[in-house]
């Protein structure tokens, strides 16, 4: 079909579908929530505590939360959040037909035990540690990914992972060990003490310390000396060198600053101490309130697109938590449960807030996304988009080889580079014109929606389906992970029966597939 005709087909199908998916959403902080619920000993109890905090806040604000997401919406959401891709059609059908009361919890357990979870959270951690626009890590990126996979397979605790990252290359490994390491974190920061101090503080303590690099921070009590006191831990202790420095000179000044923790205390040095090991043992501990709060807030933001403090990596006093006591509760239980990431995921994904629809309730009034009264709509990451396109179109073999055949790019890496987005806020990700055109008019889309070359369309047009309604349902399940609504079925059955612009019903099915893959519903988590 001519591309111009396909554009009109797209507009015809989806101009009025879920307009809220693209609506901009403001973000601001809220007021304190209810008192903490005490020590939580299991994920279910933490879920109940989350629900209590949320319910109390909604009542105080007079907010009506959205309806519970239906099974199809929940399944697609949790698959993208835990497996990094949309679910296969067979699993969607089974899940929708399953009447087991706890099937959502069972699905979460299944995904947490899957290789897809390991692969996806390897991407999540890598993107966190290695900025997309930084290439200083060279050939050590695969080494980092291998290290991350091993940690996730072993369900390593969050504090242990952070401690191992900060102490990489300090001789902590046995002599002659050849296991992969996270040294790419240091290379991405050019092994510079100031870069490493800033990244460590931002990623693991939720403090953007770099604002105090050249002068005292304007909005906090962080001083320039505190910045360089943190940087001193990395001075003369690069992964290639030994432990030699416990102080550093502030650039363009004669002043020397001793290594000092951000709480103002100095280490009690012992002979032979490596400064980075000393720092890691202060950062990644239960006693460090910054660490547990920053980790809990980061995990919350992973599943809601917005942290309880926003931005999630800038937890200064001006950025008031939307639910202060809930954040304290999450941080306390994260630490008390040995920084078990899966424990936190179980609690968050079972919460009422995570299970809400993305469509606001009628009469809910002016919306504050940090009330979490509906699920925010988030853009897919490049990795999620790549994997979901492969899943929907049947290019799973190509995905394992790192390629989407016919897309016009040579590898997965080129695809990810083309679809990279500079925004740090998942709820504000926008598709560029070039990205949209690459999907709409690229060779890949022509191939996967062509009767001659598409495996998916061949299966739909020649498969054991009774009528066009069943064929359209199969396409919806493959792309949007849901069955079409009655009005969608009626409209598209008429379109296919009429053959579309080409007056060919089979080609019209290809038009439907093309439009679904290009819809706002496909490229978002909602």
Peptide bond into 311 cis (omega under 30): yes
Q: Are residues 250 and 138 in the same domain?
A: yes
For residue 353, the model assigns a pLDDT of 97
State the residue range of the domain holding 246: 117-283
Going by their DSSP bridges, the two strands 378-379 and 524-525 should be labelled as antiparallel
Q: Which of 250, 283, 316 is the last residue of a domain?
A: 283
End-to-end CA distance of the chain: 31
Q: Are both 386 and 276 inside the same structural domain? A: no
Helix ranges restricted to H, 324-426: 324-336, 341-349, 382-393, 396-400, 412-418
pLDDT digit string (tens) for 489-524? 999 999 999 998 999 998 899 899 999 998 989 989
Q: Is 486 domain-assigned?
A: yes
The verdict on 508 and 405 lying in the same domain is: yes
Mean pLDDT of 192-220: 75
Contact (CB, 8 A) for 307 and 300: yes
Is the pLDDT higher at 12 or at 105? 105
User: What percent of the chain is modeled with pLDDT above 90?
Assistant: 51
Within a domain: 97: no
Q: Is the pLDDT of residue 475 over 80?
A: yes
Q: What is the pLDDT of residue 463?
A: 86
- Kindly state whether residues 132 and 276 are assigned to the same domain: yes
Tell me the pTM: 0.86
Tell whether 100 is covered by a domain.
no
What per-residue confidence (pLDDT) applies to 74? 98
Nearest to 480 by CA among 509, 512, 458, 443: 512
Lowest mean pLDDT among 44-58, 170-184, 210-224, 334-348: 210-224
Residue 240 Cα distances to 93, 278, 329, 358, angstroms: 53, 18, 40, 49
pLDDT at 454: 79
Instruction: State mean pLDDT over 288-315.
Output: 91
Residues 278 and 138 both lie in one domain: yes
Using one digit for the tens of pLDDT, what is the confidence trace for 64-114? 999 999 999 999 999 999 999 999 999 999 999 999 999 999 999 999 999
271 and 382 share one domain: no
Cβ pair 331, 39 in contact under 8 A: no
Residue 342 lies in a domain: no
Query: How does DSSP classify residue 68?
Result: B
Residue 90: the pLDDT is 95
Would the CA dihedral through 137, 256, 261, 269 be positive or negative?
positive
Looking at residue 493, its pLDDT comes to: 96
pLDDT above 60: residue 320: yes
- Whether 497 maps to a domain, the answer reads yes
**Are 266 and 409 part of one and the same domain?**
no
**Would you say 500 and 468 are in contact if contact means Cβ atoms under 8 Å apart?**
no
- Contact by Cβ (8 Å): 374, 66: yes
Lowest mean pLDDT: which of 38-52, 73-87, 110-124? 38-52
Residue 332 lies in a domain: no
Residues 6+ apart with CB under 8 A from 445: 439, 514, 517, 518
Query: Is 262 inside a domain boundary?
Result: yes
User: Is the pLDDT at 243 greater than 50, yes or no?
Assistant: no
In this structure, the answer to whether residues 275 and 159 fall within a common structural domain is yes
Rg of the chain over CA atoms, in angstroms? 25
Residues 385 and 519 in one domain: yes
Q: At a CB cut-off of 8 Å and minimum separation 6, what does 502 contact?
A: 1, 508
Q: What pLDDT, on the 0 to 100 scale, is given for residue 434?
A: 59
Last residue of a domain, one of 240, 260, 283: 283
Q: What is the pLDDT of residue 432?
A: 57
- Phi, psi dihedral angles at 460 (to 5 degrees): -75, -45
Quick check: is 220 in a domain?
A: yes
Last residue within a domain, chosen from 265, 283, 301: 283
How many domains, the chain?
2
Dihedral sign for Cα 323, 327, 333, 339, please: positive
């Amino acid at each position: 079909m001519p591309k111009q005709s396909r554009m009109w087909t797209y507009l015809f199908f989806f101009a009025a579908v879920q307009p809220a998916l693209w609506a901009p959403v403001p973000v601001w902080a809220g007021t304190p929530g209810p008192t903490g619920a005490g020590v939580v000993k299991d994920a279910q109890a933490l879920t109940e505590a989350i629900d209590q905090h949320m319910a109390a806040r909604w009542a105080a604000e007079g907010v009506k939360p959205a309806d519970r997401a239906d099974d199809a919406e929940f399944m697609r959401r949790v698959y993208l959040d835990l497996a990094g891709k949309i679910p296969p059609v067979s699993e969607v059908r089974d899940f929708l037909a399953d009447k087991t009361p706890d099937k959502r919890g069972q699905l979460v357990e299944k995904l947490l035990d899957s290789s897809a979870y390991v692969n996806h959270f390897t991407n999540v951690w890598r993107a966190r540690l290695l900025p997309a626009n930084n290439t200083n890590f060279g050939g050590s990126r695969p080494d980092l990914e291998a290290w991350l996979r091993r940690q996730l397979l072993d369900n390593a605790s969050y504090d242990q992972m952070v401690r191992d990252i900060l102490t990489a290359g300090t001789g902590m490994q046995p002599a002659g060990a050849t296991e992969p390491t996270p040294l790419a974190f240091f290379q991405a920061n050019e092994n510079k003490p100031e870069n490493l101090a800033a990244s460590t503080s931002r990623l693991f303590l939720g403090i953007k310390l770099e604002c105090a690099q050249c002068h005292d921070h304007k909005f906090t009590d962080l001083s320039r000396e505190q910045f360089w006191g943190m940087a001193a831990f990395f001075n003369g202790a690069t992964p290639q060198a030994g432990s030699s420095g416990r102080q550093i000179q502030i650039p363009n000044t004669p002043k020397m600053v001793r290594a000092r923790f951000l709480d103002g205390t100095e280490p009690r040095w012992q002979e032979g101490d490596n400064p980075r090991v000393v720092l890691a043992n202060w950062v990644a501990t239960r006693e460090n309130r910054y660490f547990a709060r920053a980790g809990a807030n980061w995990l919350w933001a992973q599943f809601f697109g917005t942290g309880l403090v926003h931005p999630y990596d800038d937890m200064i006093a001006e950025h008031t938590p939307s639910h202060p006591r809930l954040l304290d509760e999450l941080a306390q239980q994260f630490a008390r449960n040995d920084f078990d990431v899966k424990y936190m995921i179980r609690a968050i994904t079972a919460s009422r807030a995570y299970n809400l629809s993305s469509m606001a309730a009628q009469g809910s009034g002016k919306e504050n996304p940090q009330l979490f009264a509906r699920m925010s709509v988030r853009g897919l990451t490049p990795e999620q988009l790549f994997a979901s396109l492969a899943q929907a179109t049947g290019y799973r073999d190509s995905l394992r080889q790192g390629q989407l055949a016919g897309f016009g790019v040579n590898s997965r890496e080129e695809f990810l580079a083309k679809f990279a987005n500079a925004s740090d806020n998942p709820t504000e990700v926008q598709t560029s014109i070039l990205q949209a055109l690459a999907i709409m008019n690229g060779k890949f889309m022509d191939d996967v929606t062509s009767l001659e070359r598409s495996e998916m369309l061949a299966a739909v047009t020649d498969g054991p389906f009774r009528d066009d309604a069943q064929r359209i349902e199969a396409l919806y399940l493959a792309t949007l992970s849901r069955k079409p609504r009655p009005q969608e079925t009626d409209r598209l059955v008429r379109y296919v029966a009429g053959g579309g612009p080409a007056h060919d019903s089979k080609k019209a099915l290809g038009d439907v597939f093309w439009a679904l893959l290009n819809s706002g519903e496909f490229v978002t988590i909602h």
